A and B are shown apart, each in its own frame.
Chain A
């Protein structure tokens, strides 16, 4: 079974401070990992995928297979980063769960001025 755990329900930082949102997963294979963001009154949207190794809005995330983690990081948080963040996992290509996402519990990030 696949599982995603986000240990922090709430995370508060001040503007300009570094931020790290933690995500750990359980999966017996090579998963694909994603981060989704939900700003106030907006729909969930894809922030980044591990497979594309991109940086979006200053956020990066590295897949650490040894620690089964996919933490989201940003060196200097901005007030507009305040949102709900979800980590999600899809099984590897060829498997029955490929393309079907399992989500973590979500972390509400608040960036104070």
Chain B
């Protein structure tokens, strides 16, 4: 089973609709992140959370919101989807405990198309 699970894997939605992307993890990590991937732009940080009570905006948070329902769950919402939010969205987790920082564990991604 995957350590970091994203649902749905693919989604097509209409302009103006509200949509939620979900991420859950079994790694026990405190930190969770949402990134979007666009060709030529790489990965851009949308929101991140260092623990359940901590939510922070990333580089491109406009038009998005998040909810950290539990240590293991971090959801990304598009309140009113627009076509330029068509992208591949990745959730990631990380941990600073133990011997220090070891980088991210990524989910498989959600491909979102807004028509």
Contact = CB atoms under 8 A, between A and B. Distances in A.
Contacts of A17: none
Chain B binding site: helix, strand, loop or mixed by DSSP? strand
Interface stretch (B15-23, B69-77, B106-114): B106-114
Contacts of B82: none
Nearest to A105: B42
Contacts of A88: 103
What's the interface size class on B, roughly?
20 to 34
Interface-centre pick from A9, A98, A101 (highest chain B CB count, 10 A): A101
Chain A binding site: helix, strand, loop or mixed by DSSP? strand
A32 interface: yes
Given A9-B40, A43-B107, A100 B45 contact: yes
A74 interface: no
A36 B92 CA distance: 13
Interface residues of A, number: 23
Contacts of B35: 103
Given A49-B103, A101-B45, 4 more contacts: A44-B90, A44-B106, A86-B42, A100-B33
13 contacts: A34-B103, A43-B106, A44-B104, A46-B103, A46-B104, A93-B100, A99-B94, A101-B45, A102-B45, A103-B42, A103-B43, A105-B42, A106-B42
Interface of B: 31, 33, 35, 40-45, 48, 50, 90, 92, 94, 96, 100-104, 106-109
